[in-house]
């Protein structure tokens, strides 16, 4: 067993590694090294926490750690990049549920300490946490109860909210917004009742108040996320990421674990910043999103005129061979089809022919920020031709050919032209301004969010139907 000083030093080292990891993830070239910083930091955190003072029960802790690690390795190898958003949501649910369990246990231990001290004035046989509780004065015990309330409430909301987000992203739950009769009033009533139960709990009421508050928080998490549509799910995932961090930080205060406090604060603050960035990228009001779209657009969407005109590989290749400038806009469909390597080869051929080829990346392309950048980096697409929306949006008007691969909402002109559209006001890539637009798409469906796209009906747009990977593979031999 290590001394507390040694554990504190390890905690500082792990915290620095986590900060370096977060900082490095903002750059594609440093991202791989940044991930290793995070891996090493977490290994240090787990190891030195397990070996710290007052920790026991290794006979069951070690097998559980091995089982958990084995499950993690299995999931990491099995999950595709396209499934990463729902995996992130699932992992958030684990953090939330852990916060609930730790909070419950902390309160039960607090009650046991108080009962034992009153009866025997002894702390013999107490756990490390219980012994810590026994040293606290009444004011400190009140702060402990506040920490428990916050950790349990945020954790419970995070758990059920993340489970529903996972279901929607994985297609196991309908992506359309749904609420029970009463809608937002149910959420407000549950929140008000939770506050009342929290006050009763802090006033000395029994464990039942904490349990009932947890059940209400579980409902709030479920009902909030059920009321959010598929178009807003990227913001929801980052929001839940933030919630899980704050839940962890609250439990860190409960356990007097400095590393958990720092790590939770890092996750919570970075998730909140990311949520703000994504709301800005989608022109969404953050409060409206988390309230299930409260105050969203009203009225019927504008009718779309015209028809979708199909084109074959030969027609697309002919246009590419005649073009001087090409912009490729990748989306979730490219990820699903695992077409990034074929797209990379197409890019190489076009650039070898002297054409100006670039990529336009929307901040929420692929349902999570950075998803497309990672796929393109894996396929060895040069970093300098992968541009963000703000960097490339003004260039579409002077571009000969745009190839949209598996995108819908991020290239939807209804966001700017139809005030009644569910994505009204959302900044999008203005691909329709190019001379020719080719949309690589499986079929005529509306995509994940269920929103129709007028782009597909425009005169300068042709639909290149089929699996994205096969379509690009068919295109490659025809490109000179």
pLDDT tens for each residue of 129-162:
666 666 677 777 788 888 889 999 999 999 999 9
Residues 431, 402: contact at Cβ < 8 Å? yes
State yes or no: pLDDT of 121 exceeds 60: no
Within a domain: residue 400? yes
Nearest alpha carbon to residue 220 among 147, 154, 293: 154
Tokens encoding 96: 């939330």
- C-alpha to C-alpha distance for 396 and 326, rounded to whole angstroms: 9
Distance, in Å, from the CA atom of 357 to the CA atom of 328, rounded to the nearest integer, reads: 8
Q: Is the pTM higher than 0.85?
A: no
Q: Is residue 300 part of a domain?
A: no
Question: What would the two tokens of residue 116 be?
Answer: 């034992």
Query: Are β-strands 436-441 and 401-405 bridged in parallel, bridged antiparallel, or unpaired?
Result: parallel
Q: What is the CATH number of the domain that holds 457?
A: 3.40.50.1220
Mapping DSSP onto H, E and C, the string for 103-136 reads HHHHHHHHHHHHHHHHHHCCCCCCCHHHHHHHCC
Q: Given pLDDT bands bounded at 50, 70 and 90, which one contains residue 128?
A: low
Query: Is residue 226 a contact partner of residue 175, using CB atoms and an 8 Å limit?
Result: no
Residues sharing a CB contact under 8 Å with residue 480, sequence separation 6 or more, in sequence order: 321, 353
For residue 296, is it within any domain? no
Whether 308 maps to a domain, the answer reads: no
Under the banding of pLDDT at 50, 70 and 90, the label for residue 302 is low
pLDDT mean over 417-429: 82
**Which pLDDT band, with edges at 50, 70 and 90, does 168 fall under?**
confident
Q: For residue 186, give the 3-state DSSP assignment.
A: helix
Parallel/antiparallel/unpaired status of strands 461-465 and 325-330? unpaired
Are residues 111 and 68 part of one domain?
no
Number of domains making up the chain: 3
Give me the residue label for tokens 């009342």: 196
Does residue 66 sit in the same domain as residue 87? Answer: no
Residues forming the active site: 409
Same-domain check for residues 324 and 388: yes
pLDDT of residue 134: 66
Residues 422 and 442 in one domain: yes
Pair 345, 422: CB distance under 8 Å: no
How many CB atoms are located within 10 Å of the residue 246 CB?
22
Do 74 and 87 belong to one domain? no
Beta strands in 362-424 (DSSP E): 386-388, 401-405
Q: In this structure, what are the phi and psi dihedrals at residue 298, rounded to the nearest 5 degrees? A: -125, 160
Domain co-membership, 409 together with 318: yes
What is the spatial distance between Cα 30 and Cα 26, in angstroms, rounded to a whole number?
8
Q: Which residue range(s) make up the domain with 149? A: 83-290
For the segment 304-330, what is each residue's pLDDT rounded down to a tens digit? 777 889 999 999 999 999 999 999 999
Residue 298 in domain? no
**64 and 111 housed in the same domain:** no
Asked if residue 413 has pLDDT above 70, the reply is yes
My answer on whether 462 and 333 are in the same domain is yes
Rounded Cα distance, 284 and 277, in Å: 10
Q: In this structure, is residue 307 part of a structural domain?
A: no
At which of 78, 100, 125 does a domain end?
A: 78
Phi/psi at 165 (5° precision): -60, -40
CA distances from 226 to 155, 232, 245 (A): 17, 11, 22
Last residue of a domain, one of 48, 78, 108: 78
- Among 78, 110, 140, which residue terminates a domain? 78
Same domain, 249 and 319: no
DSSP at 310: B
pLDDT attached to residue 111? 79
pLDDT at site 402: 95
Q: E strand or H helix at 325, and its extent? A: strand 325-330
CB 329 within 8 A of CB 407: yes
**Whether 226 and 278 share a structural domain:** yes
Contact 260, 244 (CB under 8 A): no
Q: Are residues 103 and 212 in the same domain?
A: yes
- Using left for φ > 0, alpha for ψ between -120 and 50, and beta otherwise, residue 428 falls in beta
d(CA 190, CA 432): 46
**pLDDT value, residue 295:** 43
Task: Give the model's confidence band at 403: pLDDT under 50 very low, under 70 low, under 90 confident, else very high.
Answer: very high
Q: Are residues 99 and 58 part of one domain?
A: no
- 99 within some domain: yes
Q: Is 438 within a domain?
A: yes
């Amino acid at each position: 067993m290590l001394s507390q000083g040694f554990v504190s030093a390890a905690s500082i080292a792990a915290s620095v590694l986590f900060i370096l990891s977060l900082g490095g993830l903002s750059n594609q070239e440093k991202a791989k090294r940044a991930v290793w910083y995070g891996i090493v930091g977490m290994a240090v955190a787990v190891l030195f926490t397990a070996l710290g003072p007052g920790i026991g029960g290794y006979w069951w802790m070690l097998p559980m750690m091995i089982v958990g690690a084995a499950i993690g390795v299995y999931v990491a190898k099995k999950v595709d990049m396209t499934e990463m958003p729902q995996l992130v949501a699932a992992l958030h649910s684990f953090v939330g549920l852990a916060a609930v369990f730790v909070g419950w246990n902390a309160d039960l231990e607090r009650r046991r300490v108080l009962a034992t001290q009153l009866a025997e004035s002894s702390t013999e046989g107490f756990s490390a946490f219980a012994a810590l509780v026994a040293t606290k004065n009444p004011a400190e015990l009140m702060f402990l109860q506040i920490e428990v309330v916050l950790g349990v409430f945020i954790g419970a909301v995070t758990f059920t909210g993340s489970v529903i987000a996972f279901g929607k992203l994985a297609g196991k739950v309908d992506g359309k917004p749904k609420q029970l009769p009463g809608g937002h009033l149910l959420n407000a009533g549950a929140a008000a009742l939770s506050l009342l139960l929290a006050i009763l709990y802090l006033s000395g009421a029994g464990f039942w108040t904490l349990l009932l508050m947890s059940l209400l928080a579980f409902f709030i998490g479920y009902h909030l996320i059920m009321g959010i549509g598929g178009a807003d799910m990227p913001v929801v995932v980052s929001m839940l990421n933030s919630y899980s961090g704050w839940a962890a930080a609250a439990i860190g205060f409960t356990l007097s674990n400095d590393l958990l406090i720092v790590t939770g604060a890092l996750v919570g603050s970075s998730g909140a910043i990311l949520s703000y960035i994504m709301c800005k990228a989608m022109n969404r009001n953050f409060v409206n999103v988390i309230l299930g779209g409260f105050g969203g657009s009203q009225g019927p969407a504008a009718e779309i005129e015209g028809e979708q005109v199909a084109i074959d590989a030969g027609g697309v290749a002919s246009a590419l061979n005649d073009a001087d400038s090409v912009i490729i806009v990748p989306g979730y469909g490219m990820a699903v089809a695992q077409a990034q390597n074929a797209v990379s080869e197409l890019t190489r051929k076009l650039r070898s022919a002297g054409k100006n080829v670039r990529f336009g990346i929307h901040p929420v392309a692929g349902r999570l920020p950075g998803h497309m950048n990672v796929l393109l980096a894996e396929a060895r697409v040069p970093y300098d031709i992968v541009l963000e929306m703000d960097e490339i949006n003004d260039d579409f008007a002077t571009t000969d050919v745009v190839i949209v691969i598996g995108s819908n909402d991020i290239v939807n002109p209804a966001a700017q032209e139809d005030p009644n559209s569910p994505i009204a006001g959302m900044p999008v890539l203005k691909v329709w301004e190019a001379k020719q637009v080719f949309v690589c798409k499986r079929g005529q469906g509306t995509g994940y969010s269920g929103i129709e796209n007028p782009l597909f009906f425009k005169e300068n747009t042709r639909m290149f139907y089929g699996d994205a990977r096969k379509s690009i593979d068919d295109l490659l031999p025809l490109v000179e």
